[in-house]
Copies of this chain bind each other. A is one copy, B any other.
Amino acid sequence: MSQEEQIVLKKEELSAVIQELLTKVGVPAADAAITADVMADTNARGVESHGVRWLDIYLQRIQAGGVSPVTKLDVVQDKPSLLILDANNGLGQVAMHRAVEMGAKKAKENGVAIVGLRNTNHFGACAYYTEMASKMGLVSFVCTNATPLMAPWGGIDLCIGTNPLSYGFPTKGTPIILDMATTAYARGKVFVAERKGEKIPEGVALDKNGAPTTDPKAALEGIMLPASGPKGFGLSLVIDLLCGIMTGAKYGTHITPIFGTIDKSQNIGHFAFFLDIEAFVPVEEYYNNIEDNIANMKKSRLAKGYDRIYMPGEIESGIREKNLKDGISIPKPTWDVLQEWKAKLA
């Protein structure tokens, strides 16, 4: 990998910059703090593709009127284990953060809760929200639809997002946090490769004419391929149906690109469930069994080229532990954009 200049910041410093810029464009202080924590935590976990890199487009969209700086959540449906929320085109991070709190409350009261959100926006990495739920002792699932960047299986036109999903399971130690896009390769990483002047792997993208490419620029103008072919497409489609059609948000080709007409709302949707462990099994039994399961997997003989078995989310958790001590590296180009915003909004 080619090296690029990095700015190293404490999480609090990074978070403060994000908060300041969001506040300047009209985001209430408490909401700016939530959004900043989601973004800075994502960078802290080493997931640069989904972190502060996105602040630029959020600020652009807020200024252009494409995203509302105020996230007002209307309750559209409220049953013992079901909430449908309308986020009124507010920030995805704020909407989903509150949805986790509301869903968690319902799950603790009624065993389980399903939460759908409509009229919301890009919320960063799904993992933040499932980890948040896992800290509350809940098992959770969170997914979102997004700008179309994949084709249906067998096609080459943009019809569906790289729709990611995340599952979270608390353990006695590091929670199990699966967070994956339904593409073979995260599109955020294609941006990073383009910025660094690197190639992307083979078999993960097609150019706009449907020909295979390893050039990040051509891939960004083309389509991302689904993980495991029709399986990844199928998963992306069901996420689109859950988050888009079932919540009453937009879906498929109706979602306008986030980097496109920035003065128009995207109206994407999120879908989540929360499970209160004690409604399912004795809590102690759950924790003992999940630790036993992890221990059994870690005892496996290793495959060639591997020196350790990691549970989903374990690598990111280790990176965060280190980064919270040593500081978070932000690529200089990303940092420069924040500085430009700082000057512009001064």
A residues apposed to B, CB below 8 Å: 77, 79-82, 84, 110-112, 114, 116, 139, 151-157, 159-160, 167, 169, 176, 178, 180, 184, 206, 210, 227-228, 230-235, 237-238, 240-242, 244-248, 251-253, 273, 275, 277, 279-281, 285-286, 289-290, 293, 296-304, 306, 308-312
Leading 5 A-B pairs by shortest Cβ distance? A155-B300, A81-B81, A154-B306, A157-B300, A227-B228
| 14 A–B contacts from the bound complex (CB under 8 Å) | A81-B81, A84-B280, A111-B114, A112-B114, A151-B303, A176-B241, A180-B234, A210-B301, A233-B312, A238-B312, A244-B289, A245-B289, A248-B285, A252-B293
Residue of chain B at shortest CB distance from A232: B228
Residue of chain B at shortest CB distance from A289: B245
Quick one: given A156-B303, A252-B297, are A77 and B227 in contact (CB under 8 Å)?
no
Whole-angstrom distance between the Cβ of A194 and the nearest chain B Cβ: 23
Quick one: given A154-B308, A210-B304, A297-B160, are A280 and B248 in contact (CB under 8 Å)?
yes
Complex CA gap A2/B273 in Å reads 46
Majority-rule SS of A interface residues:
mixed
- Of B110, B230, B244, B280, the residue contacting A246 (CB under 8 A) is B280
Quick one: given A114-B275, A169-B238, are A154 and B310 in contact (CB under 8 Å)?
yes
| A228 neighbours in B (Cβ, 8 Å) | 184, 227-228, 231-232
Complex CA gap A238/B170 in Å reads 12
- In the complex, the answer to whether A309 meets B152 with C-beta atoms within 8 Å is yes
- Of B82, B210, B251, B277, the residue contacting A112 (CB under 8 A) is B82
| A298 neighbours in B (Cβ, 8 Å) | 152
Which residue, A114, A244, A299, has most C-beta atoms of chain B within 10 A? A114
